[in-house]
Amino acid sequence: MRIIISQPRYLPVMSYLQRLYHADLFVLLDSVQRQGRGWENRNKLLVPDS
């Protein structure tokens, strides 16, 4: 049995979706502190000025 515990991702990458596919049990651990210098912090959203 494969159990995978992972933090939720804002923009999931292919390896994240692949882990979800191969897991028998997938646990989203959302009660931990966000990484300060993680990959998600480098993504920027372009929104029009309103």
In this prediction, residue 6 carries a pLDDT of 79
Q: Is residue 41 part of a domain?
A: no
DSSP string for residues in 18-49:
HHHHH-SEEEE--SSPPPTTSGGGG-------
Q: How many residues does the chain have?
A: 50
Residue 12 lies inside a defined structural domain of this protein: yes
Q: How confident is the model at residue 31 (pLDDT cuts 50, 70, 90)?
A: confident
In this prediction the pTM is 0.50
Contact 24, 3 (CB under 8 A): yes
Q: Is the pLDDT of residue 25 over 90?
A: yes
Q: How many domains is the chain partitioned into structurally?
A: 1
Task: For 11-20, write each residue's pLDDT tens digit.
Answer: 667 777 888 8
Output 11 or 23, whichever has higher pLDDT.
23
**4 pLDDT above the threshold of 70:** yes
Determine the structural domain holding residue 10 and report its residue range.
Answer: 1-31
For residue 45, is it within any domain? no
